[in-house]
Amino acid sequence: MRTFRTDLADEIVESETSTDIYTQKKSSYKGININHIIIHRYDESIGKIPGDYYSIEFPHLNDEDVREAVKEVVSDTLQQLLNKYKINDDSVVFVAGLGNSDVTPDALGPVTTSNVIVTKHLFDFGFDGIPEGTKKVAVLTPGVMGQTGIETSDIVNSVCNEIKPDCVIVIDALASRSIKRVNKVIQITDAGINPGSGVKNNRKEISKEVLGIPVIAIGVATVVEIMSIIDETFRTLMRQGKAIPDIDTLYNYYNEDELGMIVTPKEIDEQVENIAVTISDSINMALHRNLDQL
C-alpha cells in the first residue's frame, strides 16, 4: 500500500472520532476552519510526536477581511500555546525562520522573520520608553545546510545556549497531500519540526526534547507531491463513478524520481509573501500586548 507524504496532522488523523491516541476538536471563526488535534501518545499508525496540533484553513488571502480573521486566529492560537508554557512579558522568545530564501516554496521562514519585530537588544541596552507588555524577541534566519554546512538544529541550539530564551518559535514550509490545501492551511504545533520537510530534505529535529525549552512550530503547506495529485484525482473520479485505469499501472509507468517530484503554484511568489506577512503580523500581535506603541 502506497503512503502519501504530508506534514499536516489533520491529513493523517482523518477519523472524526477521538481515541486513546488522539483527541480532535473542530471549530470555525469568520469562515476560517480550525482543527485542533491533541496527540496523547506516539503511535506508528500516525507517526506524530505527542502535542497540540492546530490546522487553520482559509479559502485565500486576497480579501482583507479574510486576512484579518486569519491573523486573529493565528495570534490567538499562538497565545494559547505561550500561556500553556507560562511565557509572560518578562520572557525571552527566539524566532527562527527556517528554509532557503533562494527557493521560493522554501522561503516562507526567512520572508516571515524579516517582518517580525525585534526587541531583545532594546532591553539589553536599557532603552527607555519600551511599551508595557513587550516581550524580549530575538530573530535569526539560519539558512539551510547546503548554504552553511551546519545542521540548522545545531545553529538554533547554539543560539539558545547563548541567549537563553524561554521559548522558540520556528517557521518553515511543509507539504500537503492535497493540492486544494497548498498555501491555504497554517499548522501550529508545540511538537517541534524537522527543517526542510516540505521540500523533501528532512534534517535534525528542532523540538523541546532537543533544546530543553518549548518549541512552537508554524508551518504552511507550500508544495504537494505529484503522486499525491494523481491519487487525489483518481479518488475524486472514483467517487463520481467514472471509469479510470488501474492506478498501480499508472504508477508503474513512471520511475520513483518522477513520482517524487513536488509541485507548487505558479503564483507561489505572491502567495508566500502574503502568507508570510500574515504570520509575522500574528506573531507580533501574540508577543506584544501594546503593538501599536512599538
Bridge partners, residue 92, by sequence: 136
Pairing of strands 167-176, 185-189: unpaired
| Residue 67 cell numbers, joined | 486576512
**pLDDT value for 199:** 47
Q: Which CATH superfamily is domain 89-288 in?
A: HybD-like (3.40.50.1450)
**pLDDT value for 82:** 98
Measured distance CA(287)–CA(220) in Å, rounded? 20
Of the candidates 139, 85, 133, the residue with the CA atom closest to the CA atom of residue 111: 139
Measured distance CA(258)–CA(151) in Å, rounded? 28
Residue 178's identity, in one-letter code, is S
**pLDDT value for 231:** 72
Under a CB-based contact definition with an 8 Å cutoff, are residues 209 and 168 in contact?
Answer: no
**Residue spans of the chain under pLDDT 50:** 1, 198-199
Domain residue spans in the chain?
89-288
Backbone angles phi, psi at 43, to 5 degrees: -145, 135
Express each pLDDT in 203-244 by its tens digit: 689 999 999 999 999 999 999 988 777 777 767 776 777 766
Pinpoint the alpha helices (H) of 42-170: 64-84, 108-113, 120-124, 145-148, 152-163
| Residue 238 cell numbers, joined | 472514483
Q: Is 106 helix (H, G, I), strand (E, B) or coil?
A: helix
**pLDDT value for 69:** 98
